[in-house]
Amino acid sequence: AQTVTQSQPEMSVQEAETVTLSCTYDTSESNYYLFWYKQPPSRQMILVIRQEAYKQQNATENRFSVNFQKAAKSFSLKISDSQLGDTAMYFCAFMKRMEGWNTGNQFYFGTGTSLTVIP
Nearest by Cα to 70 from 53, 88, 82, 45: 53
The only residue of 33, 67, 76, 87 in contact with other proteins, by rule CB under 8 A: 33
Collect all residues with Cβ–Cβ distance below 8 Å to 102 and sequence separation of at least 6: none
21 touches other proteins by CB under 8 A: no
CA–CA separation, 30 and 44 (whole Å): 30
Q: Which of residues 36-75 bind other proteins (CB under 8 A)?
A: 37, 42-45, 47, 50
- Return the number of the residue (101 or 119) whose C-beta is nearest other proteins: 101
- Return the number of the residue (9 or 18) whose C-beta is nearest other proteins: 9
Q: Which of residues 87-116 bind other proteins (CB under 8 A)?
A: 91, 95, 97, 101-102, 104-107, 109-112
Smallest gap from Cβ 96 to other proteins, in A, equals: 11
Tally the residues of the chain.
Answer: 119
Residue 21 CA from chain centroid, whole number:
8
Nearest by Cα to 86 from 55, 52, 115: 115
- Return the number of the residue (68 or 91) whose C-beta is nearest other proteins: 91
Burial tier of 48 (Cβ tally within 10 Å: 0-12, 13-18, 19+): buried
Interface with other proteins by CB under 8 A: which residues?
33, 35, 37, 42-45, 47, 50, 91, 95, 97, 101-102, 104-107, 109-112
